[in-house]
Amino acid sequence: MSIEVVMPQMGESITEGTVSKWLKKVGDRIEKDEPILEISTDKVDAEVPAPAAGTLLEIRYKEGETVAVGTVLATIGAEGEAVAEPPARDEILPEPEAPAILSAAPESAAEISQTATATAATKNSPDATEVVMPQMGESITEGTVSKWLKKVGDTVAKDEPLLEISTDKVDAEVPSPGAGKLLEIRVKEGQTVEVGSVLALVGAEGSAPAISAEHPPQPGAETVQTPSPEPAPARETSSVQATSGNGQKTLEDLRRTKSSPLVRKIAAEHGIDISQIPGSGISGRVTKKDILSYLRSGAALKPQDLLVKQPPATRLTEPQPATVQTAVPSVAVSAADRVEKMSLMRKKIADHMVLSKRTSAHVTSVYEIDMTNVVRFRERQKDNFYSRYGTKLTFMPFIFQAVSRALRKYPIVNAQVDGENIIFKGDINLGIAVALDWGLIVPVIKRADTLSLSGLALAANDLADRARQKKLLPDEVAGGTFTITNPGVFGGLFGTPIINQPQVAILCVGAIEKRPKVFTSPDGDDYIAIRHMAYFALTYDHRIIDGADGERFLAALKEYLETTEFSI
């Protein structure tokens, strides 16, 4: 009896999905839970596993077709059952390309370990277990090996960290899926590979690893003696016309268009047609690196790339200014200079900063705020707080609480821009910039307005500590709606930070220091007092936040910090 393969529910708000690629063809033998196709939604790309073992009898939808959740995509029959004839809709066979493994994002460090272990368990040779690049978040399709913690021949324990990887969201460690020796390293430090790629092999002492035909070693990989792999069997493919008679897009166009949600968002913000960008990802999909490179090249501004309908020849049009390509001047290097290649994190920070300056109209307003009220409360409570919670009470939780109240009062500062729409975010998720020895990362305190002063302190200290230990999870550096940076800890008075896209504002907190301040007594006499003062600089996106909105936000912040009777 045949079994139906249906379009799965990928989230409560998702009602449909697109068949992006078939990984099997009619007649193929399939194991239970083996991926048989890739689907793409507006939230995530994922693979659909086989609900049972058997033979793929029927494919009902072509690559590129969008269907509702619950729709039958294919049927699988019991072993030995006759293969059904193709349905009326022409069957599209998959290309002979090994797909990346895409899965739901793990929720915790333990689940990341379990994900890597479970994935490796399905790819084991008799003697070795494959260590694969794990899925670190729904929009992440690749990662870079930043550092190997073990070398070939080292003995490793199960779940012991083998290497560090870096993505555009977070740095993390990859644990060993089993105990044994590190038999082979397939990806060198600095190399970027797709999710699901084999990074290394771990096996019993003295065992020889088998080379996977599906995942051959990367160039330059460290290996021990291995048997030669048998050639992979040839697979049939079907040709696809460039366009159909009704002008529909080709499969390559559809795959590029079905890139990750992050890529599509960047494209929408810059008015870019993704199908015009050469993609380096799976099946020609456009990656974040591709679209950022496209933006930096200036190609997005070229007239031939703009889908503009030309006016009739009889009408006069104003001359268009020529696009100016600015060449980056070369840098002369002398013998006394030291040349150091940018780290992956530094390159990603650079890309993000340039993207932000190209996206938002930055403007900064600065307020001087009397922090004496906060300083006095903290001095009274810091020892008690440490004894109760085992962590320090800094000035930042007070600022987090004040920011949360001001954002509720002025929601435009907690908004985001989507084309011609303004999205007022329902949650207040505060990003806190944490300086690291090797760069900068912004973990997020989710729903900060629901936390008490002590809750904010505990959350912030925990995130900062784990950021420095490279223990953050992808979800903990995503979803921010407003960011706070604190160069005051280094002595800076104030700064004009760059907005953390897709947010529309960022607050810079300067050093809290004693300064003379002029006051007026009830009798009208002026006098000078020593107060604890600090400058607060708000950089905001002038596309949607007017100067008056920025000033009102800072005024609300000032009033809260100067007058509130705090409690832990």
- Residues marked as catalytic: 542, 546
State the amino acid at position 101 in one-letter form. Answer: I
Any residues with CB less than 8 A from the CB of 215 and at least 6 apart, and which?
Answer: 98, 123, 130, 186, 197, 198
Long-range residue pairs from 354-357, CB within 8 A, at least 24 positions apart, any chain = 354/296, 355/266, 355/292, 355/295, 355/501, 356/498, 356/499, 356/500, 356/501, 357/498
CB 54 within 8 A of CB 80: no
CA–CA separation, 80 vs 260, rounded Å?
A: 39
155-156 sheet: strands from edge to edge: 128-132, 198-203, 180-185, 155-156
Neighbours of 464 (CB within 10 A): 20
E-state strands within 61-197: 66-68, 72-77, 128-132, 142-148, 155-156, 161-166, 171-175, 180-185, 192-194
Tokens for 220? Answer: 């330059």
State how far the alpha carbon of 138 is from the alpha carbons of 67, 188, 257, 261, in Å.
21, 25, 17, 9
Per DSSP, the three-state class of 231 is: coil
Q: Which residue has the tokens 């019993």?
A: 204
* Torsion angle of C-alpha atoms 294, 300, 305, 306, degrees rounded to 10: 150
One-letter-per-residue 3-state SS of 452-488:
CHHHHHHHHHHHHHHHHCCCCCHHHHCCCCEEEECHH
CB 535 within 8 A of CB 493: yes
Tokens for 349? Answer: 């920070």
Tell me, rounded to whole angstroms, the distance of Cα 491 from its chain centroid.
32
State the amino acid at position 14 in one-letter form. Answer: I
Residue among 559, 532, 535 nearest 365 (CA):
535
E-state strands within 65-209: 66-68, 72-77, 128-132, 142-148, 155-156, 161-166, 171-175, 180-185, 192-194, 198-203
Q: Are strands 161-166 and 142-148 parallel, antiparallel or unpaired?
A: antiparallel
CB 116 within 8 A of CB 83: no
Instruction: Give me the sign of the Cα torsion angle 240, 241, 246, 248.
Output: positive
